[in-house]
Amino acid sequence: MGTICGHSIDEYIGMIRDFHGHLAPGLLIGGFMVDLATKNMPAGEFYDVLCETATCLPDAVQILTPCTYGNGWLKVVNVGRFAVAFFEKYTGAGVRVHLDAMKLDEYPEIRNWFLKLKTKQEQDKDRLIHEILTAESRILGMSPVQIVEELIGKIKGGKIFLCPGCGEAYPVKDGDRCLACQGTHLYR
């Protein structure tokens, strides 16, 4: 059986349980995605990661790479696709890996899960995990990408002001008051 970023499958499953709380199928597939992407990045380069969904996949990146949501090396733009791009942090050149719905003919339970053809209760979880471990990277697609300029590098915060609305510190680039006081409702 293969490895995921140098970890045995059992080790990685333990890491999933520790961090994510339970063995989510998306985390297991995500492990093979991260493994494939990193193997196709030039060695020794610093990379950042873009994740196209907020569900599961960001945790595979956070478990297996130095890139976390809070350190800014993992960015999430939730366009709802199960895909991740690894790119050189200064040039934006990299690879994108996605779960390919066209490659699921031999893996019916992965298809049922991925396309939500069955409810969670109807799914055969053991078979699903077995299919994922059998498929490894065979259900993935990969292509070279060039990240758009706006997503390369740190997002600079700029100057900090105290908001005249709530009195709290906020980045002045957001306007003459903080976004919460401008109408992003968080609390009743």
Q: Which residues bind a copy of itself (CB under 8 A)?
A: 19-22, 24, 27, 50, 52, 54-60, 62, 66, 68-72, 76-83, 85, 96, 98-102, 114-116, 145-148, 151, 157, 159-160, 162-163, 166-171, 174, 178-180, 184-188
Nearest distance from C-beta of residue 9 to a copy of itself, angstroms: 19
Query: How far apart, in whole angstroms, are the C-alpha atoms of residue 107 and residue 74?
Result: 30
In terms of CB distance, is 1 or 102 closer to a copy of itself? 102
Nearest distance from C-beta of residue 55 to a copy of itself, angstroms: 7
Distances in Å between the alpha carbon of 171 and those of 105, 125, 163, 176, 179? 49, 46, 9, 10, 9
Query: How far apart, in whole angstroms, are the C-alpha atoms of residue 101 and residue 166?
Result: 47
In terms of CB distance, is 90 or 179 closer to a copy of itself? 179
Radius of gyration of the CA atoms of the chain, in A? 19
Would the CA dihedral through 74, 80, 85, 87 be positive or negative? negative
Nearest distance from C-beta of residue 11 to a copy of itself, angstroms: 16
